[in-house]
Structure formats: C-alpha cells, structure tokens
Structure 1
Amino acid sequence: MATPMESLALATDSDDVVFLMVPFPAQSHLNQLLRLSHLIRSRGFPVHYAATAVHCRQAKLRHENDTLLLNTSGITFHELPTPPFNSPPPSEPYSFVKFPQHLWPSFEASLNLRQPVAALLRELSSSSSVDTTTTRTRRLVVIHDYMMSYVVQDVASVPNAESYSFDCGSTFCNFSLTCQFSGKPFPVAQLEPEAIPTLDNCTIPEFTKLFVIQTQFNHLSHGKLFNTCRPIEVPYLDLLADAAVDNNNNNKQWAIAPTPLLPAVTANHHPTLEWLDKQPPRSVIYVSFGSLTTMSQQQVNELALGLEESKQRFLWVLRDADRVDIFNAESTILQLPEGFEERVKGLGKVTRDWAPQLGILRHPSVGGFMSHCGWNSCLESLTMGVPLATWPMHSDQPYNALLITHILKVGVPVIGWGERDELVTSSAIKKSIESLMASSDEGHAVRTRAEELSKVIKQSAEDNDNELDSFLAYAAR
C-alpha cells in the first residue's frame, strides 16, 4: 500500500485536482488560510483564494513569510463582491465583553458572499487554468473557515466538489464549546463558575448567532482540518472524533499544524529584529496583543509602568485594533506615560508598526511572550519554545489561556478570566513577568516544559508521514 507521501507524489503529476480557500474576514483567519494555500501550492496543486478585495489585499500585505511567497507563485486571488459596510473605529473596551464589536459589520456582510462563492464553485468545478493551459477539473476541494460554512453550502450541489472545514482555533476550545452546547461539564476542573469561559462572556450575542448559523451546515463537510498538532492536543482531537461519531457526523480529521510555521522567515531584517540582535539570549519578553485588541489609555499606562518596574528587557508592539478596512482609516495613536521611552531606553523597545511575529519568536534573545492568547500566537510561541504570560481578552482566547496555564503548564497568568472586568494593575503585570522570566522555581519549570514541548512539536512536524500530506493524498485520491 502506498504511503501518504507516495500517494501525494502520484496525485501531483496532474492539475485536475483544484483547491479553493474561503477565509473568514479577520486577520488571523486570513493569514492561516493563506499560509495553507502556499503550502498546498508548493505541492503542485492549483490553488484559488477567495475573499473581498480589501481582505485579499490585507492578507497579501501581512503575509510575512517571504520564502513561501517567493517559492510558490501561482495562487489565484478572487476578489468577491459584497455590499458596502461600515468601518467604524474600535470602541472603548469598557463593555462587559471586550469583543471587537467594530468589526461586526464586516462579519455580518460575509453572509452575502454565498452567491459569489456559488458562482465561483461552478466555474472552478468545470475547468482550471494553470500556466496558460486549461485542464478539466476532476475534483474541486474547498477548504473553508468554519465560520464560512453557510457561505460554501452550495458545494453540496456540485458533483465533483468536496468541502473541508478549517478550524483556526485550538481543539481544546472547540471541545469546550461542544461541552457547553451538549450540557457536559467544562473540561477543566477546580475552576470557579465566573472563571469559566462561555460564548456569552467571550463574544457578543450577534456573533454567537452567527456561530450557531454555521453549525447548521456541519454535515456538509467531508472532513475537518485543525490548526494544531497531536503532541499538543491529542486528547481533544480524539474526544471530538468520538463526538462526531455519536452525532452521526463525518469524523475524518487532520491536525495539520505546525507545518506552516517551519520555513524560515526572510523578511528584510525588520528594526525589531535588529534591536533583538543586540540583546542577550532569552532576556527579552515580547509583548503583543494581536490585531483585534483595544486597550483603554489607563490600561496602557498600567502596562507601561509594569514593564518599567519589572526591570526586564522588553519588546512591546503597541497598536490599536484593526478597522474593517485597514487601508482607509487612521489608527488611534496610543499615548505612553510622559518620559517612559526615555526612562527605559536601552532596556526596552516600543514599536507601533506591524511586526514580524514569527521572526521575533524564533529569535534567540526572546525568552517570553505576554500575549492575548489568540491561537495563532499560542501555536507560534509553543513551536518556538517560548513560554507565555497569558492575558486573554475575548473569543477563543480565554480557552487557549487555560490550555497554556492549566493543562500544558507552559505559561503563567497575568489575569484569570474571572478578573476580566478589572483593571490589570502594574503590580500584577510586574509579578507575571517576574514569574515567567526570573530564575525562580516556577519560571524554570515553565521554561523547561516549553522547551521540551517545542522539541516534540518540531519532531512531529518533521515526520515524513505528516498529516498535511496525508490530507492532500486523501483529497486527491
């Protein structure tokens, strides 16, 4: 019997299997499916990427892995038409849920992409142009963000098409939500009720309704791709597979990360990397809260003071949350306490630009990561062996933080989810930095576990029989 690699080699001899990627319009989701697009294209398959014009442009602009971009030309981008929607500035984060409500118009508008995607499905299922030649499509493989299940539902009416959902979040979060909907106990014991994440306290009601809409089309998926790897989350992958069997759903699954993280980043040596070159090994804590986090000015001041009082070297990416259209909006310039940058000169660096996170996390000077715990950030940090100080804000982040601190034990909390409505003080920030970075028993244990887990993850990714190739061999069967 042929191995997945042998089957894949046979499959890539022709261009009659075509892939269509349909991402959800948020930065981390756009980025993950573009990374996967490049990897699939590098295996020889034609790949199409479909999103609105502004989100296609955003995905390409922020795709930091130049090696993949240079070596895998041939991805076709489709700019889908959608009705105009508002692009308001980020709202002040004083509400009960710190979900980025200003992006809701874009999320809601994504439902209007069903008809354009259906038309694209019909077009691509008939023929595909590759390198000036036209071939008959034997199979159209649609990989869509889980939150776009409604949009791609017409794949069921295309005889030679199959769809696979792609879950950008952690499998632990996925399983936790499954428990919530089925009435089973939350999978982390010994938590106070107010410390348990739920859809109600992690998102806004509108997004919860959108999530529920997507679940109605689960049965149309031919299988599931998870943005994780088995050494991190095998218990939850197995539990989800069992739950799928119990619910008579398709239980084919592939955990395809961290393969997209491994090729070296060659982005024109960014100023942040040049600064890191001058720092001692494992001496810097990287501080970044992703593209969808808004902090009050008071919270920015407390964070600045906590970093200063810790006396720890730091690299802080200080940016306001993205708007829907990042090309047609002015970002709010968050102010630092008077004299702060002068006082920490030589000890810390603040950047307000988009930073190459993978390059930063793999840099030998970085020894810790203070993060909002978006799953992309968690996975990148774990792959590079960098422990985390967890500060979740909304969505899947509280679940991911519990996985990091309570289950994998490769991080320390800045705050627990039960304190989400409180101002995080400089003293709490200072304490978490010292716990993670100082030569204490706790810090040593966390750093050691992070380094050991990184080795296991990388070994898993280097296995020739990895799950991405297994999936591609199946999809091209």
Structure 2
Amino acid sequence: MSPERGAFTSILMLPWLAHGHISPFLELSKRFADRNIHIYFCSTPVNLASVKPKLAGTKYFSKIKLVELHLPSLPELPPRNHTTKTLPPHLMPTLKKAFDTSSPGFAGILRLLVSDLVVYDFLQPWAPAIGTSLGIPAVEFLCTSATMCAFVNHANMKPGVEFPYPGIYLHDHEFDKFTNLLECSANGIKDRERVFQCFERSLDMIIIKGIREIEGKYIDYLSFLLDKRVVPVGPLVEDTMFEDGEKSKILDWLDNREEKSTVFVSFGSEYFLSKQEMTEIAHGLEASKVNFVWVVRFHDGERDAEANSRCHLPEGFLKRVAGRGLVLQGWAPQAAILQHSSIGGFVSHCGWSSVMESIRFGVPIIAMPMHLDQPMNARVAEEVGVGTEVKRDETEHPESGGGEEHQECDGRQGGGESEAESEGDERYHKKERR
C-alpha cells in the first residue's frame, strides 16, 4: 500500500484514447485539483505527450500527475497510433483490443497508487470492475450529451416505445449508421455491451459534461432510466493555447477581418471528409462570398496532407478565395478561434465539445452532423436556439466519408470481429426513428 494513503484525497482519471475525451477529462481534473484533490491522469504515452505542455508552467503541474498506460506494440499499431488522432478508421478495432489488453497494467497502477476513486470513460467496463475488486469505487464520466445517452438508454430499456421528446430523433440513414456502430465488435465485445456495462457499473451516480439550462429535461430523464444521480459539471471548455507560429498565422489573419464577418468551418479531429464532401463544401464557401477559416484533416495513412488537399479541393479554389479564405491542415486551436471577435458563425459537425464551445463563446452553429451522437446534438442546438441544421438528402452518396465507419466494424481489417448482424437485437434494428 502506498505510504501516502490517507494523506490526501486522490482520483485516478482514465479517459478513452481520443482528444475529444482526453480534453474534458483534463478540464474536469483541473476542477478537482482546484478543490485540493490530487489527480492521477492515466493514458498512453502519445496522448500524455500532448497533455504535458498544457500543464507545464501552470498551478496544475504539481497537482495532476501523468501516469503512463502502456498498450502492446503491434506491427499494425505502433505506439504513435495508441490514440484515435489521425488513426486510420480500419485500425479502430485493433486500438480497442489493445486498450482492453492493457487492463492488467491498469490493475497494477491502481494497486500501486491506491486512489480513493476511479473516474472512467464509456468504452472500458473493465476499469470499474478492477476498481471494485480492489475496493476502490468507480464513477463514469460521460463526455457526450445527456440527450444522446437518454436516447440510447430509452431504446435499450423501452424497445418499440417512442422517445418522449419528439424534437430528438434520427432519420433512417442516421439510425442505421448509429446502430451499426453499436453493433461493432472488438476483442469479442460489442460496443453496445461496453456502453451499457459502463453505465451499470458506475457506483450510484454519473458525471456528465453539460449544462442543466440546456439539457435539463434530458438529464432528468437519463437519471430516471438509470436510477442514478446524473450530475452535469459544465461545458469544460479547454484552455486556449497557441504556438508562436500558429498565433502569427491564425490570429493575425483574424485580426484583419471585421467583427463577426468570418465563418469557422471544422468537422472535428476524427472525421475525415471524402473528396466529394470537400468539393461540395468548397463550392458552398466560394459561393457564399464570406470570409472563412476551414480546417481540413487527413488520417495517418495519408502522409502528404498538402498534396491531398490539392487533390480533394476543386481546381483553382485556393487562388479564387485568396484573401478571404484560410485553409488549415490537420489541427487548429478551436476554442481560441471561436472566441475571436471576427468569428460570426461555426459550420460544425456538432461533436458535443464543439457545441459546448459555441455556446460558451456565443457563436451560432450551422450544423452539419456526420455520425455518432452528432445528429442528436445538432437537434438539441436547434431546439434551444443556438443553431440551425443544414437539411440534406436522407441517403448517402457512395463516396461519403461516413463509409469509413463500416471499416471500423470490419473484422478482416485491424484484428476486430464483425458482429453487425442483419438479423440482430430488435432494439437496434427497428426502423423506428424517434
């Protein structure tokens, strides 16, 4: 047992291996640290390498200790890919399997540190099980919206019963994509099973990233369904950070634009637009005649981002929009951009962190949800008056970037097993949309 046991209260934080989860886990860690709670922040070395600079030189440097969790290094999954950032979609099952196989290492970390509480994410039901076996309570922290969580739990617990809030729904093609993802399998475990085991194993409460004024009725309904307290902890917007070069390029460019004259366009760190999607968005931005900052991303298998952007964008696009359009490749400090006075709108995929940042900085959303929880988040934003959704056809083009999700479920790629049956659980294969 650690000799420090009892000297202070400590919490071990274990996020899923995605920036969209690591960032809110880190912000929540800071809130705990402000209350004199010692934090152990546990993730893979490649993820911790991006966290460390955010703590350096701050009051949190001594309060939040970074703890490395080592995944097996496989030929197809080297340590630099022990994160979802730029991960080729077909390797997602491999990453989940590798994360699962790190559970003995996580148990060793818990035995060594003997924390008072484990705060875990939505895909690792083994984390609360290990905590319980060691007499350490565990609580789930959800980085997604209460709306989505309520919708999914309602579908699971009340199959065939219409969701009680008609403003939240999925079109048929969205429903099919979402349920296919829930049926994805890695290491012999469906994501649906992971998600609901994580709900069940949380002690007597769920912590959630959100605001009661925005999602109050959905928070209460989720609490009713789970028979647990659901505690919203605010938007948890990440502190803004710039490298000198980034500041010069981006902020200087924005400083030369009039107030609320510029649209920020970004679809998150893990969705890769297809050539067709990029072409259509480029045509729309060009026709709009407004200033814009557009972040484009390519996954790790496409090393030459500049060459890829030239191939994916319409010929001559960059020249035609020169002076009013800034195209950034890979990553941009989203929160810092959104709070700039020249930004007047946000074309967004409606990841939950993006919705929270938009609300935090008062930037209206033009919603273009792509997959996962994003359609439900977009409808929450529209319901509360902070955004409007772009209406699109209910069928996907075959070249859509969303098709990469199916690669995540392909057991022949990346070592996962495909268990998305054509005749499966009625709760997830019904065509009911609400």
Alignment TM-score > 0.5, same fold: yes
SS in 2 for 1:338: coil
1:423-442 maps to which residues of 2 (within 5 A)?
Answer: none
Query: 1:177 pairs with 152, 157, 161, which one?
Result: 152
Q: Could you list the per-position Cα deviations for residues 322-381 of structure 1 after superposition, in whole angstroms to 9, with x for gaps in the alignment?
A: 67xxxxx83543223222122111211111142111101111111111111111111111
Offset, 1:29 = 0.9
Change over 3 Å in CA distance of 1:378–1:48 after alignment to 2 = same
Contact 1:124–1:140 under 8 Å retained in 2: no
- Partners of 1:421 and 1:253 lie apart in 2 by 39
> Is the Cα–Cα contact under 8 Å of residues 392 and 398 in structure 1 kept in the other structure?
yes
- Assess, with a 3 A threshold, how the Cα gap between structure 1 residues 287 and 341 changes in structure 2: closer, same or farther: same
* Bigger mean CA offset, 101-110 vs 270-279: 101-110
Give the match for residue 113 of structure 2.
124
Aligned positions of 1:53-202 closer than 5 A: 53-60=45-52, 63=54, 70-74=58-62, 75-85=64-74, 86-87=76-77, 100-125=89-114, 140-159=116-135, 161-182=136-157, 183=159, 184-189=161-166, 194=172, 197=175, 199-201=178-180
* 1:83 partner SS: coil
Q: 1:50 aligns with which of 39, 42, 49?
A: 42
- Tell me how far apart the structure 2 counterparts of residues 177 and 422 of structure 1 sit (CA, whole Å): 27
Query: What residue in structure 1 maps to residue 84 of structure 2?
Result: none
When normalised by structure 2's length, the TM-score is 0.78
Alignment of 1:271-286 (within 5 A): 271-286=249-264
Distance 2:239 2:26 in 1: 14
Unaligned residue ranges in structure 1 (runs of 5+): 1-13, 91-98, 126-138, 246-250, 324-328, 425-477
- Residue 202 of structure 2 aligns with which residue? 221
Write out per-residue CA displacement over residues 50-109 of structure 1, whole angstroms, 9 at most, x where no aligned residue: 112222224446x5xx7x96231122112112222434999xxxxxxxx94443311222
Alpha-carbon distance between aligned partners in 1 of 2:25 and 2:209, rounded to the nearest angstrom:
10
Counterpart of 2:255, as a letter, is: D
Q: Secondary structure at the match of 1:215?
A: helix
Q: Distance in 2 between matches of 1:419 and 1:412?
A: 20
Number of residue pairs the alignment of both structures matches? 373
Whether 2:15 is the aligned partner of 1:18: answer no
Alignment match of 1:238 (pick from 220, 224, 232): 220
Instruction: Give matches, 1:324-339, under 5 Å.
Output: 330=303, 332=305, 333-335=308-310, 336-339=313-316
8 Å CA contact 1:25, 1:107 repeated in 2: no
- Distance apart, 1:158 and its partner CA: 2.5
- Matched residue, 1:387: 364
Q: Which structure would you say has the larger RCO, counting Cα contacts within 8 Å and 6 or more residues apart?
A: 2
Structure 2: how far apart are the matches of 1:282 and 1:423? 34
Change in 2 beyond 3 A, CA 1:35/1:384: same
CA apart distance, 1:215: 1.9
Q: Per-residue CA shift, 1:291-333, capped at 9, x if unaligned? A: 111122232122111100110111101121467xxxxx83543
Superposition RMSD in Å: 2.9
SS at 1:305 equivalent = helix
2:385 maps to what in 1?
Answer: 409
Q: Is the 8 A contact 2:350 2:375 kept in 1?
A: yes
Tell me the SS of whatever aligns to 1:70. coil
Counterpart-to-counterpart distance in 1, 2:360 and 2:190: 34
